[in-house]
Amino acid sequence: MYNVIICEDEDIIRKGLLFSFDFQSLNLKVAADFDNPVSCLEYLKNNSVDIVITDIKMPLMSGLEMISRIEDKKKYEFIILSGHSDFEYAKKAISYGVTEYLVKPLDHQLLEVSLKKAINNLNDKNLLNNTKYQIKDLSTVYKDLHIEDSLFQSIITFIKDNYMHKIVLNDVANELNYSISSIKNKLKEHDLTFNTTLNRYRIYKAIQFMNLNDLPIYKIAKMVGYSDYKYFCAKFKNYTGYSVTELVQKNQ
């Protein structure tokens, strides 16, 4: 369960979030709420927090100034609430690595989508930080999974649902009702091919399975869609920089 704190000076909005939004259904706990950023900063120094939901315009300092004063910003996921769809605010928020910028009046469905995105980001961070198999720059294996692009995300969703099977580019095109050239061009916009994207995700899943259980590597290879163990080993080294044997020996 991840801990959430809310920093919002308007009581009606803060209490509305506390009592009308079901954080628990997302396996989230609201650990504390504040009506000013100074108290929020003090709390962050001594308590475990994962997600910070904060207003921008508040007494004493703005929400963005509060974020700027947090030393290890990468530890947290930030969701900004603002009464204005202001490009300069949004641009500054993005520069701080904010997960989402939501405009008031707050739409609870959009908040739910934003929180799910934050949870996914935290899960990925935890995989990197807590993995038994520490791999330098592991993020390159799955760095494209969160690109904001509807067609690209549809392609990724298809891969996530079918990576364990034998799939080819034509399968994606048929499923999404796009031409093969459209799928190719969309991936090309992100310097990718279908095979590269599929292999990245398969290796990402293989590393997850390696950390979650002690199954033989050849079984994990089959679980993530590789019928040829030697081919799996070649792709594993290609995307991680380690051979499977080197990685296992390194972490024994």
CATH of the domain at 82: 3.40.50.2300
Residue-level pLDDT at 137: 45
Q: How many domains in the chain? A: 2
Q: Which two tokens stand for residue 79?
A: 């969701």
> Does 6 share its domain with 124?
yes
> Does 15 share its domain with 97?
yes
Q: What is the DSSP string of 33-50?
A: EESSHHHHHHHHHHS--S
How far apart are the C-alpha atoms of 48 and 50, rounded to whole Å? 7
The residue from 130, 156, 176 where one domain ends is 130
Lowest model confidence (mean pLDDT) among 16-25, 146-155, 180-189:
146-155
> Does 236 share its domain with 150?
yes
Quick one: which of 172, 188, 190 has its CA closest to 180?
Answer: 172
The residue from 89, 104, 130 where one domain ends is 130
Q: Are 202 and 225 within 8 A, CB to CB?
A: yes
Q: State the pLDDT confidence band at 123, using cuts at 50, 70 and 90.
A: confident
Residue 138, pLDDT > 50, answer: no
Residue 84, pLDDT > 80, answer: no
> Does 115 share its domain with 155?
no
For 71-83, letters b (16+ CB in 10 Å) and e give eeeeebbbbbbbe
pLDDT > 90 in the chain, percent: 45
How far apart are the C-alpha atoms of 4 and 7, rounded to whole Å? 10
Report, as an integer, the average pLDDT of 70-99: 76
Q: Are 122 and 146 within 8 A, CB to CB?
A: no
> Does 223 share its domain with 170?
yes
> Does 243 share its domain with 192?
yes
CATH of the domain at 229: 1.10.10.60
Residue-level pLDDT at 42: 94
User: Which residue range(s) make up the domain with 53?
Assistant: 2-130
User: 153 or 181: whose pLDDT is higher?
Assistant: 181
For the chain, give the mean pLDDT. 84
> Does 167 share its domain with 119?
no
Q: State the pLDDT confidence band at 100, using cuts at 50, 70 and 90.
A: confident
User: 145 or 118: whose pLDDT is higher?
Assistant: 118
> Does 57 share its domain with 96?
yes
> Does 148 share its domain with 95?
no
User: 128 or 246: whose pLDDT is higher?
Assistant: 246
The residue from 71, 105, 130 where one domain ends is 130
Q: State the pLDDT confidence band at 103, using cuts at 50, 70 and 90.
A: confident
> Does 14 share its domain with 114?
yes
- Does the pTM surpass 0.75? The reply is no
> Does 95 share its domain with 158?
no
Report, as an integer, the average pLDDT of 237-247: 80
> Does 147 share its domain with 121?
no
